[in-house]
Structure 1
Amino acid sequence: MADVVIGLDLGTGGVRAIAVDLQGKPIAQTTRSYPLLTPQPGWTEQNPADWVAASLEALSDLTQKLNGHSATALGLSGQMHGMVPLDADGKVIRAAILWNDQRTGTAVDAIETAIGRQELIQRTGNPAITGFQLPKVVWLQTAEPQAYDRLQQILLPKDYLGYVLTGEAVTEPSDASGTGCLNLARQWDADILNALEIDVGLFPAVVESTAIAGRLKSEIASRTGLPAGLPVVAGGGDNAAAAIGLGISSSHLNRGSLSIGTSGVIFVPCDRPVPDPEGRVHLFCHADGGYHLLGVTLAAGGALRWYKDTFASKLAFTDLMEMAERSLPGARGVLFLPHLAGERSPYLDPDTRGAWVNLSLAHTQADLVRAVLEGVAFSLRTAMEIVSEITPVHQLLATGGGARSNTWLRILADILQAELMAPSSEEGAAYGAAILAMVGVGAHPDLEAAFEILPQDNKVVQPQANPAYEAAFKRYSLLYEALKAVR
């Protein structure tokens, strides 16, 4: 039977493993879930032991589905920004603090006092942000000094899993650039860490995303059915890996992606590191050796799910979309601010909150639902406008659950004024990790060659100008500051 590569994506809700043949065809896949811990309001944690158990179960299950196919490599992807602290024996000191944790406001202030916001942006592409890894380390210094005293290694989630699988502690630029202390030259910034009295030696070596990070340990092989010594490729952070799986690279500019999952993400590659001077959108390394800009709204599909769970629990999402069609562009004047979990782009404000505005007795549930869909699109447009000032973007590959709705896809295309393409198949970050693994073991000479095997048939939605959206966006743009004043 033909060879396959495996991609493993360590997400927030669970792990997904996929086997892909060397022509890019998925052969088998499986998922396992694990709990999210919220010990205090605004805190989010997970137990890395749960990640390991779920990942080994998923790999074991996948191996049994290979039907004689031989695995030749494993590529990694995962949720970004999390902190996994290890002691001298490689044991986890405390629960991992996740990307959406908001406890680090004081730590962010301390970092920007020690280094300066503008210098941080010039060095790393980003200001200090509550979700990033570096503020978590500073928080650990002050809030849990006994744990910090035991600290010998700091890893990102997928890199911790790689460490368990291979015994090697490494990272790669696409994930590491979301820590807050990797400079734009793709190395740990010793000046930043020295200013914070953090030992640069706590961080792992940085290798390329297609590099072999290590080889599968024999005890892991026996538990999963995979061959001992299997190459494990460093891979990429979830957004970068998902972009690789869509063929989005720094060598093909003006084309990015739009993901509508729990959060909403605009991903646009660029061939040189030009940060937004105000740090309103992220600048990260891409897994292909280039860079990318990232605009994030924290509650996209999450805002619609909140609406469904709170006000329409007996309705399906398809019912809500049909209901939104009964309203009009501009939701008959209703505006929705989707800041239900704080907001990233462009405000970097963990304390901002959501709202409906302009409600009247004449409005219906259809108007409220449509306002939610439009509010998410308006939020993404604020990020899109900043990205477009740095690098033009005319076409976005639309992915995630929200992009499966023709209604939402049309709203997004018209509000963003960008051509949207919905891929015929979407396998996500695990698939991108598999593509990186193919290049890592030489199945394809480089990523450009690997992109040739990706499916090309897409549904295209062309943007249509709509004065109702333009008028609504002008009013929407005033909401953040107006509501900030009454917090």
Structure 2
Amino acid sequence: MTVKLVLGLDIGTSSVKFLVSDSSLNTVYANSIAYDLVYPSEGYVEMDPKVWKKIILDELEKIFNSDFADNIKVICTTAQMHSTVFLDSDGDTFRNAILWNDRRTINQIPEIRDVLINTLGMTKNANIISTGSPLANLIWLKKYKTEEYKKIAKMCMVKDYINYILTGEAVTDYCDASTSCLMDLATKKWSDKIIKHYGFPNRIFPEIKNSDKRVSFLGASLKKRFHLHNDVAVVVGTGDNAATMAFINEFSKSNLTISLGTSGVVLSEIKNLSNVGKNILFGSENGLKIISQTSLSTCGEIIEWWKNEITRNNEYLRLSDISEKDIVSNKVIFIPYFAGEKYILKNRNILGSFQELDLTASSKKMGLSIFEGIAFALKLLYEEQNIPLAGSINVVGGGARNDLWLLILANVFNRVINTFNLNVMSVHGSIIIGYKYLQTPVSSDYLTMIPLKPQSKYVSYYQKKYKKFKKYVHLINCSNG
């Protein structure tokens, strides 16, 4: 029997990940290729899409020259959400992509939010508009780069651009459409209100499909370049956070997932559209699901800052470095809002700080308080979503490998923390979606869930400290209005 393999791609903020896997989640091939971003002005973050194109096509040529190439039946892509790519009438990129963390539109956001709420009556869109949003990027181009704006034949997100390169077809999925601020979440279609108000041409918006639907097959020229004899399906795919949830939901009954990466993300599947955070729609053969997302802009990035810039220590603080006394005697409270807070406080001026410092504070206690402060901020985000707390919480991302951070999360939330023996990434979600297209069940032969229980001796301590954290957040927010 021929083993069907899926090739997953993940275009992140700093690298492209490649994963070939079978339906038992056995890794057949994996690689990651880094790239550099472009910073043309202060606050501007861009990327030349042709760099993504070259990296991916060169690596695919290598993969399809391997001895397992004939078994690859599907390519499925996931990518950073919001980052916007613009194509002209020839299907070529004529300017750099504007990335999700670009801040050039910061002064326009209040006006856009006001229009969405008071003119168009689209409060849920207003809740998620931010710098880097495709809607904000389109408005900026139309206002400041008129000639470039006139060239736009299709606006797409990063994964959609890669799918276009592979197939010549421009489509998107419900996830990227719903988080673009350009979709009417009630009708699940591109918003006529927004398009008409801003005068955008309808033709620039791609068709929206379920994530496990086929875009097309790999194009004829690429089949020839890769020396392929069989068709390879290219599946629509989805945004990175939705892909992570697609993977987790396949194996865990918990409704709550926390991703500890550069940013900290709180994800939960909900029944009805939320008025807090982002409503991410995910469409598949199982219907349309709603994922509620809130996030802390600076999470792992703060850990890196503390390690590299302050302590200049090559090692991360681990559980073996910390005693029970270190935890319960630590008065220091850390506020992690190094880049403002957009979901609860909606205050871009709030900054990070240490509170209750005295002469007993040490670099170890301050480092410990950073892990705690991030955990407190994530709990605050969760509480705002008003979702019944699950019996356990899934934790993924790079931070899931730090045993100290996991113990703190277990005690702050007072719930079992589930991690996985795999370093679960969004690219694993693209594998799941690829097998959904093939209608092939995925087993967990190579996946183990590892539970970590809260410890009663710390739970009450952290409940009291969390109350203090919220008090300081309120005071700091009031003083930075």
For residues 116 and 85 of structure 2, the distance between their equivalents in structure 1, rounded to whole angstroms, comes to 24
The aligned amino acid for 2:238 is G
Residue 147 of structure 1 and its aligned partner are, at CA, apart by: 1.2
Aligned to 1:51: 52
Q: Classify the secondary structure of the residue corresponding to 1:52.
A: helix
For residues 256 and 126 of structure 2, the distance between their equivalents in structure 1, rounded to whole angstroms, comes to 19
**Residues 161-310 of structure 1: matches in 2 within 5 Å?**
161-184=162-185, 185-224=187-226, 229-247=231-249, 254-270=254-270, 272-276=271-275, 279=276, 281-288=277-284, 289-310=288-309
Q: Classify the secondary structure of the residue corresponding to 1:332.
A: coil
Aligned to 1:428: 425
Deviations 1:390-445 (A, max 9, x none): 45433221111111121110101111223210112234211211221122133x2x
For residues 243 and 183 of structure 1, the distance between their equivalents in structure 2, rounded to whole angstroms, comes to 23
The aligned amino acid for 2:448 is D
Residue 154 of structure 1 and its aligned partner are, at CA, apart by: 0.5
Aligned to 1:401: 398
1:332 aligns with 2:330: yes
Contact map agreement 2:396 2:424 (CA 8 A) in 1:
no
Deviations 1:329-368 (A, max 9, x none): 3671111122223334323444432112222222111111
Contact map agreement 1:419 1:461 (CA 8 A) in 2:
yes
Contact map agreement 2:84 2:155 (CA 8 A) in 1:
yes
Deviations 1:239-258 (A, max 9, x none): 11112122359xx8752211
For residues 253 and 406 of structure 1, the distance between their equivalents in structure 2, rounded to whole angstroms, comes to 23
Aligned to 1:112: 113
The aligned amino acid for 2:465 is A
**Residues 32-71 of structure 1: matches in 2 within 5 Å?**
32-67=33-68, 70-71=71-72
Q: 1:353 to 1:471 in 2, by over 3 A?
A: same
Range moving further from structure 2, 457-466 or 72-81? 457-466
For residues 328 and 479 of structure 1, the distance between their equivalents in structure 2, rounded to whole angstroms, comes to 22
Contact map agreement 1:126 1:275 (CA 8 A) in 2:
no
For residues 362 and 202 of structure 1, the distance between their equivalents in structure 2, rounded to whole angstroms, comes to 60
Contact map agreement 1:80 1:99 (CA 8 A) in 2:
yes
Aligned to 2:365: 367
Counting matched residue pairs gives: 472
Aligned to 1:355: 353
Contact map agreement 1:331 1:371 (CA 8 A) in 2:
no
Q: Classify the secondary structure of the residue corresponding to 1:234.
A: strand
Match of 2:469 among 470, 473, 476: 476
For residues 303 and 37 of structure 2, the distance between their equivalents in structure 1, rounded to whole angstroms, comes to 20
Q: 1:298 to 1:112 in 2, by over 3 A?
A: closer
**Residues 409-428 of structure 1: matches in 2 within 5 Å?**
409-428=406-425
1:132 aligns with 2:129: no
Range moving further from structure 2, 286-295 or 348-357? 348-357
Contact map agreement 2:63 2:69 (CA 8 A) in 1:
no
Residue 320 of structure 1 and its aligned partner are, at CA, apart by: 5.4
Aligned to 1:385: 383
Q: Percent identity?
A: 24
For residues 91 and 329 of structure 2, the distance between their equivalents in structure 1, rounded to whole angstroms, comes to 54
Q: 1:400 to 1:29 in 2, by over 3 A?
A: same
Deviations 1:110-142 (A, max 9, x none): 3223231793234x5844222321111111111
The alignment's TM-score, normalised by the length of structure 1, stands at 0.90
For residues 121 and 169 of structure 2, the distance between their equivalents in structure 1, rounded to whole angstroms, comes to 32
The aligned amino acid for 2:344 is P
For residues 481 and 40 of structure 1, the distance between their equivalents in structure 2, rounded to whole angstroms, comes to 34
For residues 345 and 68 of structure 1, the distance between their equivalents in structure 2, rounded to whole angstroms, comes to 45
Contact map agreement 2:254 2:394 (CA 8 A) in 1:
no
Range moving further from structure 2, 402-411 or 178-187? 178-187
The runs of at least 4 aligned residues of structure 1 exceeding 6 Å deviation read none
The aligned amino acid for 2:237 is G
Residue 208 of structure 1 and its aligned partner are, at CA, apart by: 0.7
Q: 1:352 to 1:92 in 2, by over 3 A?
A: farther
Deviations 1:83-134 (A, max 9, x none): 1112222221221111112222233223223231793234x58442223211
For residues 83 and 419 of structure 1, the distance between their equivalents in structure 2, rounded to whole angstroms, comes to 38
Aligned to 1:458: 449
Contact map agreement 2:116 2:123 (CA 8 A) in 1:
no
Range moving further from structure 2, 321-330 or 3-12? 321-330
For residues 41 and 337 of structure 1, the distance between their equivalents in structure 2, rounded to whole angstroms, comes to 26
**Where does structure 2 lack aligned partners over 5 or more consecutive residues?**
none
Q: Classify the secondary structure of the residue corresponding to 1:393.
A: coil
For residues 157 and 85 of structure 1, the distance between their equivalents in structure 2, rounded to whole angstroms, comes to 10
For residues 206 and 15 of structure 2, the distance between their equivalents in structure 1, rounded to whole angstroms, comes to 25
Q: Classify the secondary structure of the residue corresponding to 1:374.
A: helix
For residues 4 and 244 of structure 1, the distance between their equivalents in structure 2, rounded to whole angstroms, comes to 18
Contact map agreement 1:168 1:214 (CA 8 A) in 2:
yes
Q: Classify the secondary structure of the residue corresponding to 1:328.
A: helix
For residues 361 and 213 of structure 2, the distance between their equivalents in structure 1, rounded to whole angstroms, comes to 56
Range moving further from structure 2, 459-468 or 15-24? 459-468
Aligned to 1:315: 314
For residues 126 and 212 of structure 2, the distance between their equivalents in structure 1, rounded to whole angstroms, comes to 23
For residues 76 and 91 of structure 2, the distance between their equivalents in structure 1, rounded to whole angstroms, comes to 22
Aligned to 1:10: 11
Residue 67 of structure 1 and its aligned partner are, at CA, apart by: 3.9
Q: 1:3 to 1:283 in 2, by over 3 A?
A: same
